[in-house]
């Protein structure tokens, strides 16, 4: 008892030391908040009741996107995007392998960073979530009727695809800005000759308003800086896109020192409407490229991968009036635009204050040609001419800002581990709350749109030590939920997350839930290997390939006895789930299969390959607990020696599968 | 899916206890319930039972061959995984079903299987005969269910 008490005291002292190092004292003890308030009640969603918001929290190095409910923090689903996922056969089954194809071949992993939800007229429409793969540059689109990734496009001439994937206010474009500049075109050259020779591509990917189909409309070849984060304009600034930069020094080694030399880096302001017009009138240059465009078709339940060979490149100096630089102090990271579209917040990671630019002042400065020289032919606006104001002494290590739609902004501070609330226009700090610890992004549902839902903010932390039961050197990643409906923020909940919770997007549940798909209609299944009734199921030999066309329903496979397979055969299972009911998937796997199980949704078809390596009679079974007789959902495959005269046969209950 | 599992479990419990007896620990469970259910149903005229669901009355005329053909298509796509016409499979053989059950009962069973096997005495008995394999809800529309009924009428 005594030891525990002592330990507790130590812990308390250590943690208050930890969180107080950045002058975060607001005069109130927020760490006691949960005990003295009704925080538990505010996050309690009773059994059978639903959360108010969906939160889509990226998995960072897990490569996936997870779906949580707010305010409960309950995890609903992990959507596979850029990483193979045995739970859903993503990247394992024949249908989804093409989704992970790139110009570098099959790449079963990426680093997923910034989800953003599609918008119509500046408001979230809940149709799609876009998310970037940072490492081998890609943008994925997730369909919110099925919560499945339905498209992935690779981004050529790019590297460290970090300043993405944010959407314009009618989802005209999703952007993919390169963090690392690279030689353009890629070639063998001395790294020391980086300066002036490397380029930073900002890619504008158009999104078809009907089916969401993505296409790289143009790439702007910018000077060789690092393009860190970005945000679209909205309202009056709709038509513009803003990208923060660092390494305007164009250093190529020890960037922690060499990219922090300049007093100011830039926020690049891009008039994409102007460039779009230029491109539509034949501007830009088509250059050779090689990148994959992968599309999953909901009717065929199958993805195809197409290699594209060309991309349209725009030299910004050839479109006068389209691109400007706004000086922003000390290696800005976050670049956030408020719901009105007037304020562009730049967070200099090493700066003592937050810099806020004004869009209207920026336009005036452009008209007045209020320039401070240029960089590679791109005009640099004078710092004072675009400055709206600055938040003084806000904290240490500012990163990201979101907005509540009520005139307030919330900024995270990595070094001082806090969220700070301040007022747009007066720039005064209104409130600050500790986070535990080293907070990166934060998210207010709808905070990237004209109409935020200003009830909650979710802080996503890089460090979690001592907040949860220890699990070895690695502790769970975590997010924290704050109530922001009142004047002061209130910490309501800690909840664990999968992978690094890099960034998130949130939306009111009723916008998405009502459009959610319950099952796939069998009559609409156009999979080339679908069989839509047991009578059509069959087994076909084609050389040393055997194709099994199988069906599943509670609680059997058809056929479930298969003979005539020979050692050395490549056996393809093409399995259709005949169920037409909500939430009745079945699974299938085969002993010795060098793949994952298949988890097949009602009305869907999926395939996997099993190689018959040994003689014998080998079982397969349903892997998803589907009914009271799930254990009975099984079957056998007989494997005979190579050249055997056992004929192909397939039966169910001893009969041919088509008996009436 | 988990909800469905709960429903099945609840049903299984209801089945096991509907005889008013304490469940015997070493008995295979379903059998005594089957006997009891059979008894309970035996007295009533099954053709008078309209079942539970959206269908309260059906008017039958001459067999409509167009509707029969539509019904056959639906049957082949959504029912044959568990029902054959000529023999008992997972569920009962469907030859002559319209002589054994009222048209309303057949349509309600098609449209509302979860509630039927939970509450309707005949459906409960059939579930026991199917060793607890519940009828799957295939999200069939009322029009499709009516066409299926016509197809079954043609198979007497
Ligand atoms: Cu199953």
Question: Quick one: pLDDT at residue B36?
Answer: 47
Is A558 an interface residue toward B (CB < 8 Å)?
Answer: yes
User: What pLDDT does residue A259 have?
Assistant: 87
Stretch A522-536: mean pLDDT = 95
If you count DSSP H runs as helices and E runs as strands, how many of each does chain A have, helices first?
Answer: 8, 47
Residue B43 has what pLDDT? 58
Least confident range from A348-357, A419-428, A495-504: namely: A348-357
- Residue in chain B closest to A586 (alpha carbons) equals B1
Model confidence at A659, in pLDDT bands (50, 70, 90)?
confident
pLDDT score for A35:
54
> Residues B94-124: pLDDT tens digits?
999 999 999 999 999 999 999 999 999 999 9
Supply the pLDDT for residue B156.
Answer: 81
Q: If you count residue pairs, one on A and one on B, with CB atoms under 8 Å apart, how many are there?
A: 71
DSSP string over A415-438: TTTEEEEEETTT--EEEEEE-SS-
* B114 vs A contacts (CB less than 8 Å): none
Question: Tens digits of per-residue pLDDT, A299-344?
Answer: 999 999 999 999 999 999 999 999 999 999 988 999 999 999 999 9
Q: What pLDDT, in 10s, does the model give residues A224-272?
A: 999 999 999 999 999 999 999 999 999 999 998 888 888 899 999 999 9
pLDDT, mean of residues A21-48: 65
Nearest to A660 among B4, B84, B136 (CB): B84
Of A480-494, A548-562, B78-92, least confident by mean pLDDT is B78-92
**Residues of A (184-243) whose Cβ lies below 8 Å from B:** none
From A583's Cα to the closest Cα of chain B, the distance in A is 5
- Coil/strand/helix, residue A613: coil
Name the packing angle between helices B30-43 and B2-17 (round to 10°): 70
The whole-chain average pLDDT of chain A stands at 93
Q: What is the mean pLDDT of residues A446-459?
A: 97
Q: CA-to-CA distance for B150 and B63, rounded, in angstroms?
A: 7
Using a CB-CB distance cutoff of 8 angstroms, which residues of chain B are in contact with residue A659?
Answer: 84, 86-87
Interface of B with A in 105-134 (CB under 8 A): 131-134
Average pLDDT, stretch A23-32?
42
- For residue B111, give the chain A residue with the closest CA: A581
Of A581, A626, A659, the CB nearest to B139: A581
In tens, the pLDDT along B64-82 reads 999 999 999 999 989 998 9
Nearest by CB: B77 against A519, A533, A581: A533
Inter-chain residue contact A578 with B85, CB threshold 8 Å: no
Mean pLDDT computed over A200-227: 97
Q: Chain B contact for A419, CB < 8 A? A: no
pLDDT of residue B41: 52
Tens digit of each residue's pLDDT (9 = 90 or more) over A359-392: 999 999 999 999 999 999 999 999 999 999 999 9
**Any chain A CB within 8 A of the CB of B48?**
no
H helix runs in A514-632, sequence order? none
Cα–Cα distance between A210 and A213 in angstroms, integer?
Answer: 8
Nearest to A82 by CA among A143, A136, A161: A136
CA–CA min distance A230, chain B (Å): 42
Give me the phi and psi of B40, to 5 degrees please: -60, -40
Distance A132 CA to ligand 1 centre (A): 35
Contact present, A419 and A459 (Cβ < 8 Å): yes
pLDDT at B61 exceeding the cut of 80: yes
Compute, in angstroms, the gap from residue A519 CA to the centroid of ligand 1.
16
Q: Is B53 on the interface with A (CB under 8 A)?
A: no
Span A580-638, pLDDT tens digits? 999 999 999 999 999 999 999 999 999 999 999 999 999 999 999 988 888 889 999 99
A555–B86 C-beta distance less than 8 A: no
Beta A561-566 vs A634-640: how paired, if at all? parallel
Question: What would the pLDDT profile of A93-117 be if each residue is shown by its tens digit?
Answer: 999 999 999 999 999 999 999 999 9
For A551, the closest of B5, B81, B139 (CB atoms) is: B81
- A579 CB neighbours in chain B (<8 A) are 136, 138
Interface of A with B in 583-602 (CB under 8 A): 583-585
B133/A628 Cβ within 8 A: yes
Find the CB nearest A580 among B78, B89, B132: B78
Residues of B in contact with A555 (CB under 8 A): 133
Residue A308 sits at the vertex; the CA angle it makes with A305 and A313, to the nearest 5 degrees, is 145
Confidence at A446, pLDDT banded by 50, 70, 90: very high
Q: Which residues pair with A354 in a beta bridge?
A: A391
Q: Tell me the average pLDDT across A474-484.
A: 95
Contact between A649 and A656 (Cβ < 8 Å)? no
When mean pLDDT is compared across A268-277, A291-300, A467-476, B13-22, the lowest value belongs to: B13-22
C-alpha A563 to ligand 1 mean position (Å): 22
**In whole angstroms, what is the distance from residue B81 CA to residue B133 CA?**
13
Residues whose CB is less than 8 angstroms from the CB of residue A656 and which lie 6 or more positions away in sequence, other chains included: none
Cα atoms found within 13 Å of the Cα of residue A658, Cβ hemisphere only: 8
Segment A332-362, tens digit of pLDDT: 999 999 999 999 999 888 888 899 999 999 9
Mean pLDDT of B30-57: 68
The whole-angstrom distance between A624's CA and the closest CA on chain B is 10
């Amino acid at each position: 008892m005594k030891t525990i008490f002592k330990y507790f005291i130590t812990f308390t002292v250590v943690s208050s030391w930890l969180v107080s190092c950045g002058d975060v004292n607001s005069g109130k003890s927020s760490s006691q908040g949960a005990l003295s308030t009704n925080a538990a009640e505010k996050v309690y969603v009773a059994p059978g009741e639903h959360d108010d918001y969906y939160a889509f929290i990226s998995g960072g190095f897990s490569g996936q996107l997870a779906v949580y409910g707010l305010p409960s923090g309950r995890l609903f689903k992990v959507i596979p995007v850029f990483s193979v996922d045995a739970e859903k056969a993503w990247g394992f089954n024949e249908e989804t392998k093409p989704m992970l194809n790139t110009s570098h071949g099959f790449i079963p992993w990426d680093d997923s960073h910034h989800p953003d939800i599609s918008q119509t007229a500046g408001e979230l429409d809940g149709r799609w979530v876009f998310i970037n793969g940072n490492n081998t540059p890609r943008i994925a689109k997730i369909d919110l009727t099925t919560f499945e990734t339905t498209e992935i496009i690779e981004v050529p001439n790019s590297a460290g695809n970090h300043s993405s994937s944010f959407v314009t206010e009618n989802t005209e474009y999703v952007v993919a800005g390169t963090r690392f500049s690279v030689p353009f075109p890629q070639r063998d050259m001395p790294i020391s000759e980086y300066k002036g020779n490397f380029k930073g591509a900002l890619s504008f990917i158009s999104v078809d308003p009907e089916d969401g189909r993505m296409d790289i409309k143009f790439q702007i070849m910018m000077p060789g800086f690092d393009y860190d984060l970005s945000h679209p304009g909205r309202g009056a600034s709709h038509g513009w896109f803003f990208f923060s930069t660092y390494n305007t020094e164009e250093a190529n080694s020890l960037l922690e020192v060499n990219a922090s030399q300049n007093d100011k880096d830039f926020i690049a302001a891009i008039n994409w409407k102007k460039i779009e017009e230029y491109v539509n009138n034949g501007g830009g240059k088509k250059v050779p490229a090689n990148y994959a465009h992968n599309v999953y078709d909901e009717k065929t339940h199958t993805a195809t991968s197409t290699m594209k060979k060309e991309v349209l490149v725009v030299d910004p100096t050839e479109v006068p009036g389209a691109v400007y630089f706004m000086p922003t102090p000390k290696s800005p990271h976050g670049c956030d635009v408020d719901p009105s579209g007037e304020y562009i917040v730049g967070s200099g990671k090493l700066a003592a204050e937050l810099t806020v630019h004004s869009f209207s002042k920026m336009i005036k400065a452009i008209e007045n040609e209020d320039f401070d020289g240029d960089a590679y032919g791109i005009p640099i606006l004078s710092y004072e001419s675009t400055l709206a104001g600055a938040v003084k002494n806000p904290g240490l290590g500012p990163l990201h800002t979101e907005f509540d739609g009520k005139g307030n902004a919330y900024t995270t501070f990595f070094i001082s581990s806090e969220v700070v609330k301040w007022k747009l226009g007066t720039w005064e700090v209104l409130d600050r709350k500790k986070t535990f610890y080293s907070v990166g992004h934060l998210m207010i549902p709808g905070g990237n749109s004209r109409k935020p839902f200003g009830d909650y903010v979710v802080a996503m932390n890089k460090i979690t030590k001592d907040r949860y039961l220890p699990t070895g050197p690695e502790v769970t990643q975590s997010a924290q939920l704050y109530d922001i409906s009142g004047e002061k923020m209130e910490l309501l909940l800690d909840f664990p997350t999968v992978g690094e919770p890099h960034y998130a997007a949130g939306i009111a549940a009723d916008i998405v839930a009502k459009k959610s798909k319950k099952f796939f209609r069998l009559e609409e299944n156009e999979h080339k290997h679908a069989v839509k009734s047991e009578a059509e199921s069959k087994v076909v030999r084609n050389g040393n390939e055997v194709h099994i066309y199988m069906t599943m329903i509670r609680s059997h496979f058809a056929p479930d006895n298969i003979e005539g397979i020979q050692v050395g055969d490549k056996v393809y299972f093409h399995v259709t789930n005949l169920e037409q009911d909500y939430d009745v998937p079945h699974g299938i796997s085969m002993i010795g299969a060098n793949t994952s199980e298949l988890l097949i949704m009602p009305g869907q078809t999926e395939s996997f390959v099993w190689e018959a390596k040994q003689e014998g009679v080998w079982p397969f079974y349903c892997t998803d607990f589907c009914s009271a007789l799930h254990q009975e959902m099984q079957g056998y495959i007989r494997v005979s020696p190579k050249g055997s005269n056992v004929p192909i046969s397939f039966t169910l209950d001893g009969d041919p599968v088509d008996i009436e | 899916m988990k909800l469905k599992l709960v429903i099945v479990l609840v049903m299984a419990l209801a089945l096991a206890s509907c005889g008013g007896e304490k469940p015997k620990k070493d008995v295979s469970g379903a059998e005594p319930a089957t006997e009891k259910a059979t008894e309970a149903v035996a007295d009533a005229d099954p053709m008078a039972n309209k079942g539970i669901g959206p269908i309260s009355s059906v008017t039958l005329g001459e067999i409509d061959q167009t509707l029969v053909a539509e019904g056959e298509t639906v049957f082949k796509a959504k029912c044959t995984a568990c029902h054959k016409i000529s023999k008992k499979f997972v569920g009962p053989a469907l030859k002559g079903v319209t002589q054994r059950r009222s048209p309303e009962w057949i349509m309600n069973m098609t449209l509302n299987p979860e509630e039927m096997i939970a509450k309707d005495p005949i459906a409960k008995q059939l579930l026991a005969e199917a060793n607890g394999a519940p009828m799957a809800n295939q999200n069939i529309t009322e029009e499709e269910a009516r066409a299926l009924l016509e197809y079954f009428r043609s198979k007497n």
